[in-house]
Amino acid sequence: MRRDMLSTKAFTALALLRAGMLAPERPDRAARCVRVVARWGPTAAAGCAVSAIRHPEGIAIIDDLGSLTFDELQRRTNALAHGLREAGIVENDVVAIMCANHRGFVEATIACSKLGAHVLLLDTTFEAAQVAQVCAREAPVAIVCDEEFSAAAADAASGRLLVLAWTDAPAAGTPTLEALIAAGDHDELAPPSAPGRQVVLTRGTTKGVIRDQPATLDPVAGLLAMIPLRARERTLIAVPLFESWGLAQLAIGAGLSSTLVLRRRFDARETLRAIDEHGVTALIAAPDVLSAILDLGAKVIGRDDSGSLRVIASGGRALPSALAPRVMEAFGDVLYNVYGSAEVAWATIATPQDLRAAPTTAGRAPRGTVVRLYDDEDAELTVPGHGGRIFAGGEMSFEGYTGATAATTIDGLVATGDSGHLDDDGLLFVDAREHGVPNL
């Protein structure tokens, strides 16, 4: 057991070194970073603080409003956390966030992490009845939302603090993130007694999945060993941050001190321009995003320089068999397909080599993740080609559903809701989806 543990830690250290997450640093800065991680653990608050120490003038976010440095992000989220505390939000309170992809979403999640508040991520496509239903169950004390979603949040906001994140003309008397930041104290906060958790809704439903902070960086190392994301590069997240896939990449980007390129609304043409303008090295996408880009045609795609792209990571939906070859024809062998769910996070990853050999594969489990197939009698299937229900587990697995719903588990592994088979090389193929497409 001890040998396995040491092997895992060595693997994690090597993967993080290769990714640049662990790198030589000035002794004074290194000591400060160690103290931050020791006090805060592997949280969003720690990631923000460490990046501000190591790269204070580095660009943290590029969005529709411009750019923020890591130092600015650290000071702004300190101020926001103080402002939210003065508004009555304390450790273990729930804060609902209903925002598009912009700095306000990122700042609100980091500020909640600094307070030890729990985050409830609301789907921005929800109507008022769905928002009210989820908020009645999860009981947030506050809702942070963009002005464009305030009508959908209006009923749920009754009796709760409503803070507008993105707004063009805020109504008098309505608190805004910018106002709280402007009035807040920039001083560092004391860590909460325990990290806040996140509640992510499964795709297209109001079912809540509880996610705690992972205890170690081992699962991140497993992903980075298969997908070559690197520190201080530029990542464009073209999927909603409120979904599990987008949220995971937000966390990984923070750990890598990546510059995050965000747009409130997806536009295929604008995405290509942003890749060119900002030298984007990683595009976090979904099959519909990639299809929309490819549908522009080779002539339009060729107007912008996409040569900086080293990684296109697709998740959140099933990757159609014809799409992988088209993407790699247009952008080279940089496509990685990630399969999972809100419950299990990433379960398998297909590399460009895997997708060249088998365009429909979901790939292999990264180190630290276990994927098994079971029949209807809960017996494990080990013979290649024999189809069964897909179960997965690891440190990134969820803590449970909110409410009374119980997860389907076998041997500590969680059902993805899908069925599939393994081939002779150990590649997973998803054959049928019981509850629609996966969420991650």
pLDDT digits (tens, 9 = 90+) for 197-247: 999 988 777 888 887 777 778 889 999 999 999 999 999 999 999 999 999
Please provide the CATH number assigned to the domain covering 71-196: 3.40.50.980
pLDDT digits (tens, 9 = 90+) for 394-414: 877 676 788 756 778 999 899
pLDDT tens for 133-175 read 999 999 999 999 999 999 999 999 999 999 999 998 766 778 9
Alpha-carbon distance of 361 to 363, in angstroms, equals 5
| pLDDT bucket at 315, cuts 50 / 70 / 90 | very high
pLDDT the model gives residue 435: 47
160 touches 141 (CB < 8 A): yes
Count CA atoms closer than 13 A to 409's CA, side-chain side. 16
pLDDT at 22: 78
pLDDT of 278-307, one tens digit each? 999 999 999 999 999 999 999 999 999 999
For residue 435, list its beta bridge partners: none
Residue 434 has what DSSP assignment? Answer: B
Mean pLDDT within 129-136: 96
Other beta carbons less than 10 A from residue 425's beta carbon? 11
CA 164 centroid distance within chain: 22
Closest among 292, 326, 327, 322 to 311, alpha carbons compared: 327
Overall residue count recorded for the chain in this entry? 440
List, by residue range, all CATH 3.40.50.12780 domains of the chain: 218-433
Give the model's pLDDT for residue 344: 81
pTM: 0.93
What does the alpha-carbon distance between residue 60 and residue 78 come to, in Å, rounded to a whole number?
15
Whether the CB-CB separation of 314 and 239 falls below 8 Å is answered with: no
Picking from 243, 99, 238, 246, the residue whose alpha carbon sits closest to that of residue 177 is: 99
Q: For 52-65, what is each residue's pLDDT tens digit?
A: 999 999 999 999 99
DSSP code for 239? S
Q: How are beta strands 311-314 and 282-285 bridged, if at all?
A: parallel
- Whether the predicted pLDDT of 437 surpasses 50: no
Which range among 14-28, 107-121, 394-408 shows the weakest confidence by mean pLDDT?
Answer: 394-408
Higher-confidence residue of 386 and 341: namely 386
Q: Rounded distance, CA 390 to CA 292, Å? A: 30
Q: What is the pLDDT of residue 397?
A: 65
Could you name the CATH architecture of 218-433? 3-Layer(aba) Sandwich (3.40)
> What per-residue confidence (pLDDT) applies to 406?
72
What stretch(es) of the chain map to CATH 3.40.50.980? 71-196
DSSP 195-232: ---EEEEPTTS--EEEEPPPSSSHHHHHHHHHS---TT
Please report where in the chains the tokens 């997450």 appear, as a residue: 21
